[in-house]
Amino acid sequence: MTFLVNSAADFADEALAGMVAAHRRYLRPVHGGVVRATRVPDGQVGVVIGGGSGHYPAFAGWVGPGLAHGAACGNIFASPSASQIYSVLRASDHGAGVFVSFGNYAGDVLHFGEAAEKLRAEGVDVRIVTVSDDIASAPPEQALERRGIAGDLVTFKCAGAAAAAGADLDDVERVARRANDRTRSFGIAFSGCTLPGADHPLFTVPEGQMSLGLGIHGEPGIAEQPIGTADEIADLLVEKVVAEDPGDSKRILAMLNGLGTVKYEELFVTFSRVARQLEERGYEIVEGEVDEQCTSLDMAGLSLTVCWFDDELERLWLAPCDTPAYRKGTVQALERDDRPLDVVEDDVIPDAAPENRAAARLVAEVISDVHAMLVESEGYLGDIDAVAGDGDHGIGMSRGAAAADETAQQAIARGAGTSTLLLRVAEAWSERAGGTSGALWGAALRAAGRRLDDRSALTAAAVIEAARSAVDEIVTVGGAERGDKTMVDAAIPFRDALVSSDRPLAVAWAHAVEAAEAGTEATASIAARRGRAKTHHERSIGTPDPGAVSFSRIVAVIGRRLAGG
């Protein structure tokens, strides 16, 4: 469990602030994360990494000369928002484009992709490589669909070293893809981790058992078996990883990574056997690493990462770097960078017609109702998400709704209309919630806001059209289909029932809510095919999808407002 907590909702932000305070020589805070505190030569490719918090030293701990230029840092186990990532990208652009890398998780893909497109629209070349080293998360023929775990460091380090050596953006991207393609990881856990402020772990492992193929976001493993000795566990890790040997190199990196609770003496005992096993198979360990480089809060577990070097990757891995958590060789002392970082954007509220402002006040009241419901539902949503996922859905939705509620009240106080209100709420929800749900609800609210305006009365037809646009955007952005066990299993039936009805709005909405609830209930019998739960798809049977549950509950709250006039 986490002993030192002020507020669970603020834990990640406070931890990052403390990290910056402890490492001023390396880090500067910027909206959404950190960047280097030292000057970067003009014309050097910027390397930006990132993801959810809870994995220290990933990701802010790897910012410094020879590695990353910046890190975007989300909430615990949740991706940073697009606006946070964009801020870090902007601050890390030094005139040669920006290379971006992160673990292959749906929320990160959505948010980093959106931020990259925004920067590209400003004329900055941005390239993305997602890390996919975890062999437990997909078969070899679907290697690019795998998630990123401790192998993140290999890809990031080689890309950062290439940028430091003066490589252009094409070469940095090429090196990162090569490193990712030649890196494999596999992990096990003896117990699950506990989110800050929670009173129980995200998953449990039966006494005397160990969970194979765990994820770093508190996802349970794909199988369980009796705990072995350190040597037996080492043999298992080696067997799993070297099964995907590319066959063209015997010079390797071997990294044994602790996930939070398994400490160094235990790791060293295990690594002694790992090294012997690898050497007996004919491998030459160019460098061995035994450390905590990609943790999962207090999870008791470890993982083995192997990278099969070629000459270039070996040189780049061994190149000097100097960051708060990872250092190698000697890096020349650099001048501190005190240039301004944050960009202040225009904050003008457009004029709105009086009847539209009145409608916006009603919308803000509905948002407050949704916020209250999600706070009440936070524990349940987190529990069902933890069955086959990472358990953060409840807190993410609660955080997003809290930010939306606060933003709505501020916008109403300044006379905002319905369109402006929803557009601002969309950005606040997306930024504070993070993760896949943050991206999807941000996109949905943004689409609804764009369908409205600040000058017209809010008619029933306009409400239906805004709702249709919101669901259409969820489907487009998320890429899921009915039957994948996601939010769309509730959203599509809701949309179809609403737009096909010729009844008054409150009645049509109520029938659409019933369709959403039926779609949500049906997800309990479906094995997940998308998102983090897809790795444990069979485990998800019997539990409804948390995204579908939260969707149906939100539209039900709106429906009660409509029924009340």
Q: Which residues are annotated as catalytic? A: 217
Q: What would the two tokens of residue 470 be?
A: 């919101």
Start-end of H helices in 255-340: 264-280, 311-318
DSSP string, 378-418: HHHHHHHHHTTS-S-HHHHHHHHHHHHHHHHHHHHHTT--H
Question: What separation in angstroms does the CA of 139 have from each of 13, 144, 145, 338, 534?
Answer: 36, 10, 9, 47, 13
**Bond into 196 cis (ω within 30):** no
C-alpha–C-alpha distance, residues 472 and 348, integer Å? 29
C-alpha–C-alpha distance, residues 462 and 130, integer Å? 39
Residue pair 457/417 in contact (Cβ under 8 Å)? The answer is no
Q: What would the two tokens of residue 336 be?
A: 């501190």
Name the percent of the chain in helix, strand, coil, to the closest 5: 50, 15, 35
Half-sphere exposure (Cβ direction) of 357: Cα atoms closer than 13 Å: 12
The H or E element spanning position 111 is: helix 106-121
